[in-house]
Amino acid sequence: MSKGFASSYRIVLLAVVILVCFAGLGARLVFLHVIDRDVLVRFIDKARRQIIVESARRGDVLDAKGGILATSRTLIVLGVDPQSLRKEDETKWPQLAELIGLPLADLTKTLLTKSRPAVPTNASTASSPAKPGDLVINFALHPESAERTPIAKTAVMVTAATDTASDDTVLDDNADENGLRPIRWAKLSETVEESTYAKIQALGIKGVYGQRAYRRAYPHNSLAAHVIGYLNKQGEPAAGIERYADFYLHGRDGWREGERDGLRRELAQFRTRDVPASDGFTVRLSIDSAIQHMAEEELDALAKKYSPQKATIIISDPQTGFILALANYPTFNLNEYNLVPAVEQGAMRNVAVSDMYEPGSVFKIVAASGALNEGLVTSASRFDCSIDKIDYKGRTRGLPGEDHHFDEPLSVAEIISHSSNRGAAQLAMKLGDDRFYAYARAFGFGQLSGFPVGGEIVGSMASPAKWDGLTITRMPMGQSIAATPMQMHMAMGVIASGGYLLRPQIISQINDSSGEPVYRYLGVAKSRVITQETARTMARLLTGVVSDRKTRYGNEGTAPEAAIPNYEVAGKTGTSQKYMPEVMANGTTRLLPSKKHHVASFVGFFPASHPQVAISVIVDDADAHAPGGVAYGAKVAAPSFKHLGEQLIQYLDLKPAYDTSGRTALAMEGGRR
């Protein structure tokens, strides 16, 4: 046989070796594809698949002139993968601590803590695919990369690869023999500026990387705090426009799905899905920051002078219902909402719509307007306001007391200007229980105004079926009823608007992320309450409230302190007693009207013949520092109305409504009547 051929022995041996190799390979494939398939698929997914989330930017909140009230600024959430740290980088740790403002000891502790006890995983969570809103972290990119993706919301199925502790620390899947799980990410700081992050990158500390995130910022701190609202620590809208308009503001996160190589770098060519982020819309308010600042400064002045329990100022355009300013005292800093002590968190409540008070004499506009609108009286009709009892529906009713003794009948005009309690009661009796109640409802009392933010309440106003024998004599003067400051402001707005109950508006426009208008809001009239003629008559009568013309009863009006020289001011004072707890002789406690605690108010508008600005000033419990120990609306609230009015005249360039002879339009109209 030729020596060029292998022996049979060698051929058999080679065949056996090949068969053994194929058998081993087959067995390995069986293990990979059948026995260990589920474990290995999860491992491969973890090793290669990645979800990279692109966070959407929350839209801005702007004022009426485009000034920023709330915005989203980019910050870096700085973290560390302790498993990736290198010994040679330890000398750079002090520089890192200084850059992020963290004590070196605290930083060192975080960097050297490489594991934690295993966190029990909820079975239902672990076995379920991740859904939109689940939290995961992306380790797809190289540890040194500056473009690591933050812990963020996913939009596709991801295996339950991580558990997150309460402090955002992310742990690896598997525990070691000691029951410890390696830490894969630990937060060092969540407020690193871009410029600072560039310096951190320059240090070159392996395993320390940043995750870009948006943080809400309020450039003007407490300005319009109760209107704007804020986001809580979880990024959820908690109050104000932030909550009400969240649908427009929040935007939609984007994401992409792809693969990564052995060095955890993204392989862009293998991306299977790519959904871009959609930034939130911009919400423009009717609030004018300059006017809002005026209102808040006035509240600060009131607080320093009188130390009230609380106070509210509302300024609006009476022709449209749009709010130009809404300010409450006390207030808070939107950027530090979480630092407000528990005992002071009442300052975070929008008392303009969430608290109610007895409006007092301002409410007299309802009875007077109703009686005039029904044609039951004219401005010249007279009523005997010296009597203390009157027959009504077959019963003798006691009339409320007066601040002055009127020994002659008063006209309707004088009832308004002198703020006669008995005159208001008789006007309501002219209407009757049901019609008076219907007018009170039509003016907006006992129902929601529709103001979109602040946790609005309806107030308190009983129906005639629940009235006692004195209600018809007390409610017309603003007792036996409770209203919010916004409701009272709206009610005066009925007269200023020419007879319409307007919905108080705060959002003027929605713009998309490119700045194009999406929706514009217009003034909304909920209903016509009184005729235009009645509204003009009431406006003229209300100018008498601020008149200092002398009569036999003193000044013609109760609040000359609100008068603005050369301008027609229409308005009404209110001074209502607060109900305070008093201990009775038998030891029980009852709520009784107090002579030492009042709510002072002045609500009005100007120029009266063509209203352009409506202002409400409501001050709660300023008695301790008020002249004579009683906080009257004329002494406490009216001067603030005047001061604000004078500033608005300059800012809005408001012109007085005079004719060439120097007479106002309403004065001429009154002369013709």
Segment 253-278, tens digit of pLDDT:
887 676 655 444 555 555 566 678 88
Q: Which of 274-283, 414-423, 462-471 has the lowest mean pLDDT?
A: 274-283
147 and 293: one domain? no
The answer, yes or no, to whether residue 348 has pLDDT greater than 90, is yes
The answer, yes or no, to whether residue 66 has pLDDT greater than 60, is yes
Q: Is residue 70 one of the residues assigned to a domain? A: yes
Arithmetic mean of pLDDT, 537-559: 90
Q: Please tell me the distance from the alpha carbon of residue 335 to that of residue 216, in angstroms, as a whole number.
A: 8
Which of the four pLDDT bands, split at 50, 70 and 90, describes residue 584? confident
Amino acid at 82: P
The tens digit of pLDDT for each residue in 605-621 reads 999 999 999 999 999 99
456: nearest Cα among 227, 246, 237: 227
Q: Which of the 8 DSSP states describes residue 56?
A: P
268 and 397: one domain? no
258 and 327: one domain? no
Q: Is residue 231 one of the residues assigned to a domain? A: yes
222 and 316: one domain? no
Quote the tokens at residue 262: 């052995």
Q: Which of 441-450, 543-552, 633-642 has the lowest mean pLDDT?
A: 543-552
Whole-number pLDDT of residue 234:
83
Helix 364-373, helix 421-431: angle, nearest 10: 40
Q: Is residue 328 one of the residues assigned to a domain? A: yes
490 and 637: one domain? yes
Q: Is residue 62 one of the residues assigned to a domain? A: yes
Q: Name the residue range of residue 464's domain.
A: 289-336+351-672
Q: Please tell me the distance from the alpha carbon of residue 572 to that of residue 131, in angstroms, as a whole number.
A: 58
Whole-number pLDDT of residue 265:
52
Helix residue ranges, H only, 384-481: 412-418, 421-431, 433-442, 471-474
The tens digit of pLDDT for each residue in 315-347 reads 999 999 999 999 999 999 999 999 999 999 999
Q: Is residue 344 one of the residues assigned to a domain? A: no
Q: Please tell me the distance from the alpha carbon of residue 531 to that of residue 512, in angstroms, as a whole number.
A: 40
Whole-number pLDDT of residue 212:
77
271 and 297: one domain? no
Q: Give the percent of the chain with pLDDT over 70.
A: 83
Whole-number pLDDT of residue 276:
81
331 and 311: one domain? yes
377 and 325: one domain? yes
Q: Is residue 36 one of the residues assigned to a domain? A: no
> In the beta sheet, which residues pair with residue 328?
312
Quote the tokens at residue 309: 């329990």
99 and 232: one domain? yes
End-to-end CA distance of the chain: 143
Whole-number pLDDT of residue 182:
84
Q: Is residue 412 one of the residues assigned to a domain? A: yes
303 and 175: one domain? no
Phi-psi region of 285 (alpha: psi -120 to 50; beta: other; left: phi over 0): beta
323-329 and 115-117 strand pairing: unpaired
Q: Is 586 in contact with 594 (CB distance < 8 Å)? A: no
Q: Which residues are CB-neighbours of 28 under 8 A, at least 6 positions away?
A: none
Q: Which of 21-30, 44-53, 490-499, 627-636 has the lowest mean pLDDT?
A: 44-53
Q: Which of the 8 DSSP states describes residue 378?
A: -
Q: Which of 107-116, 282-291, 408-417 has the lowest mean pLDDT?
A: 107-116
Q: Is 413 in contact with 541 (CB distance < 8 Å)? A: yes
pTM beyond 0.85:
no
CATH number of the domain bearing residue 127: 3.90.1310.10
Which uninterrupted H or E stretch holds 231? Answer: none
Quote the tokens at residue 221: 């701190």
Whole-number pLDDT of residue 191:
84
Q: Angle at CA 269, nearest 5°, toward 265 and 273? A: 95
Mean pLDDT of the chain: 85
Whole-number pLDDT of residue 16:
85
Quote the tokens at residue 25: 């390979």
Number of domains present in the structure of the chain: 2
CATH number of the domain bearing residue 319: 3.40.710.10
Q: Is residue 492 one of the residues assigned to a domain? A: yes
The tens digit of pLDDT for each residue in 18-57 reads 888 888 888 877 776 777 666 655 555 554 556 666 778 8
Whole-number pLDDT of residue 374:
97
196 or 151: which carries more pLDDT confidence?
196
The answer, yes or no, to whether residue 411 has pLDDT greater than 70, is yes
Q: How many CB atoms lie within 10 A of CB 373?
A: 22
The answer, yes or no, to whether residue 445 has pLDDT greater than 60, is yes
